[in-house]
Amino acid sequence: MFLNILAHHEKNRSIKVDYIRSGWSVSQAFNECLRAILKLTPLFLVNPKPILENEIEDRWKLFKGCLGALDGTYIHIRAPSVYKPRYKTRKGDIATNVLGVCDRNLNFTYVLPGWEGSAADGRVLRDAVVRRNGLKIPEGNYYLCDGGYTNGKGFLSPYRGYRYWLRDWQGRWGFLRSSSWYSVKVHNRITSACCLIHKYIRGEMDVDPLDMDMEEQV
> Do 136 and 103 touch, CB atoms closer than 8 A?
no
> What average pLDDT does the segment 175-202 reach?
91
Adjacent-strand bridge partners of 115? 97
Q: Are strands 66-76 and 108-116 parallel, antiparallel or unpaired?
A: unpaired
Give all strands of the β-sheet with 95-102 in edge-to-edge order.
Answer: 108-116, 95-102, 66-76, 142-144, 155-156
Alpha helices by DSSP H, 23-170: 23-39, 41-44, 84-87, 121-130
Torsion of CA 187, 189, 192, 197, to 10 degrees: -100
- Render pLDDT for 26-46 as a digit per residue (tens, 0 to 9): 999 999 999 999 999 999 998
Whether 165 has a pLDDT exceeding 70, the answer reads no
Phi/psi for 81 (5° steps) reads -55, -40
Start-to-end CA distance of the chain, whole Å, equals: 34
Lowest mean pLDDT among 63-72, 163-172, 205-214: 163-172
Lowest mean pLDDT among 85-89, 180-184, 211-215: 211-215
Nearest one of 64, 118, 80, 81 to 96, comparing CA atoms: 118
Lowest mean pLDDT among 25-34, 69-78, 86-95, 175-184: 175-184
Whether 209 has a pLDDT exceeding 90, the answer reads no
